Amino acid sequence: MDKVVLLADPNSKAWDFACKICDYVQKTKDVFIPLRKLSVNQFRNNEIDMHVLENIRKKEVYFIHDSSKNPQEWWVELLLLKDLLLNASAESVTFVLPNMLYSRKDRKEKSRVPISARALAWSISPGLKRIITMDLHASQIQGFYPENVPLDNLYSFPAVAKYIKENNIISSFENLVVLSPDAGGVDRAKSFAQRLGCNSLAFIYKRRTTEGIGDSRQIEETILVGDVKDKDVLIVDDIIDSGGTLCKAADLLKKSGAKKLFCYGTHGLFTNGTEELKKNFDKVMTSNTNHREGDDVTVIDVSHLFAEAIYRAQTGESISELFR
Ligand code: R5P
């Protein structure tokens, strides 16, 4: 571990996350990992410039990126930083991306649209040692990365299930249904259900309009698959962006006779605020992968899972053991 250094921008929200990783490794493994500073600035026309303040020659660098940044800046910073680190003779470069942006577009759902998750993979992967992220929108995105750049997709469910149990958020797991708001998230919902000791799963079939791109593709049809009558429901999703998916799901669940509603989305962007969500749910939970601040929703710390992954990637211990 003596060659390992963490790197983050002290003026970004990733700094606190990186400090938590260092503290965890120091406390639980008795290993000190230095945290180095990346300085980021812009020219007057908004071109990005950056500088690593200390020598990183022959170091194994783990860069912790701020997922709450403007996605375009987030992407360009990765490209420039990789260039900087390889030029500065770092021995290896690992990107730690708590929320992998540009992942929602992982297939060509109609003609003449980009597969953004692939474009990201192809642009950032050359020269990297590995990538560590969490709750990827779809796990097959790993296939966009070449075999010499492994991608560790961590899962937040152990931390969330622990939080829910320790804080008695849900009174009875026998009366609980864990629900995915789309068909693609059923495996994720199953992992949560298993860890909570709950036997009931459900999902919502969601169809979006084919017209439009990005946000203009409205949800046209939702069909509930599973029984929620007189049950409490925990919805789990990868992203809470506007919150529209969760609020629509809440409407459908109430009409179908559900009792209490809880929701968790790993990457909490909350681009439309939190008011509507708080009206619809007894508890709104997210993780700190998007560095959410404020106490209007519950933020569950997952930095220790990244710390374990970094430590184990170096020592050769199993990472998947964390999720068994
Ligand atoms: C979609 O496929 C994702 O898994 C999320 O459900 C979606 O991105 C959430 O977006 P919003 O909160 O804007 O409905």
Residues 104 and 216 in one domain: no
How, if at all, do strands 283-287 and 219-225 pair? unpaired
Residues 308 and 250 in one domain: no
Sign of CA dihedral 50, 96, 269, 242: positive
pLDDT at 122: 98
Atom 7 (ligand 1): residue with closest C-alpha?
Answer: 239
Residues 110 and 174 in one domain: no
CB 79, CB 123: distance < 8 Å: yes
81 closest CA partner among 65, 70, 67, 103: 65
Side chain identity at 92, as an amino acid letter? S
Q: Tell me, in angstroms, the distance from the centre of ligand 1 to residue 245's CA.
A: 6
* Average confidence (pLDDT) over 263-281: 97
* Average confidence (pLDDT) over 130-150: 97
Atom 3 (ligand 1): residue with closest C-alpha?
Answer: 239
Quote the tokens at residue 225.
């698959």
Decide whether any atom of ligand 1 lies within 6 Å of the 237 Cβ: yes
pLDDT band, very low/low/confident/very high, at 293 (cuts 50, 70, 90): confident
Q: What is the CATH number of the domain that holds 316?
A: 3.40.50.2020
Residues 272 and 319 in one domain: no
Decide whether any atom of ligand 1 lies within 6 Å of the 181 Cβ: yes
Q: What is the Cα 185 distance to its own chain's centre?
A: 14
- Provide the domain count of the chain: 2
pTM check: above 0.95: yes
Q: Tell me, in angstroms, the distance from the centre of ligand 1 to residue 238's CA.
A: 8
Residues 173 and 94 in one domain: no
Residues 184 and 125 in one domain: no
Question: What residues form DSSP beta bridges with 152?
Answer: 132
Residues 147 and 10 in one domain: yes
Q: Taking the chain, what is the end-to-end CA distance rounded to the nearest angstrom?
A: 25
* Average confidence (pLDDT) over 186-209: 94
pLDDT at 29: 98
Distance CA 320, CA 324 (A): 7
Sign of CA dihedral 307, 313, 315, 319: positive
Domain residues for 221? 157-300
207 closest CA partner among 242, 234, 245: 245
Residues 270 and 166 in one domain: yes
Decide whether any atom of ligand 1 lies within 6 Å of the 106 Cβ: no
Three-state SS string over 214-273 comes to: HHHCCEEEEEEECCCCCCEEEEEEEEECCCHHHHHHHHHHHHCCCCCEEEEEEEECCCCC
pLDDT band, very low/low/confident/very high, at 67 (cuts 50, 70, 90): very high
Atom 8 (ligand 1): residue with closest C-alpha?
Answer: 239
pLDDT > 90? residue 208: no
Q: Which residues are CB-neighbours of 297 under 8 A, at least 6 positions away?
A: 268, 270, 274, 277, 278, 284, 285, 286
Residues 26 and 109 in one domain: yes
CB 260, CB 37: distance < 8 Å: no
Residues 253 and 223 in one domain: yes
pLDDT at 100: 98
pLDDT at 2: 92
Residues 177 and 253 in one domain: yes
pLDDT at 216: 73
pLDDT band, very low/low/confident/very high, at 256 (cuts 50, 70, 90): very high
CB 48, CB 76: distance < 8 Å: yes
Tell me whether residue 209 is exposed, middle or buried, using C-beta atoms within 10 angstroms of its C-beta: 0 to 12, 13 to 18, 19 or more. Answer: exposed
Mean pLDDT of the chain: 96
pLDDT band, very low/low/confident/very high, at 212 (cuts 50, 70, 90): confident
Mutate to test the pocket of ligand 1, among 203, 220, 222, 240 (most ligand atoms within 8 A of CB): 240
Atom 5 (ligand 1): residue with closest C-alpha?
Answer: 239
pLDDT band, very low/low/confident/very high, at 258 (cuts 50, 70, 90): very high
Mutate to test the pocket of ligand 1, among 186, 209, 241 (most ligand atoms within 8 A of CB): 241
Residues 170 and 294 in one domain: yes
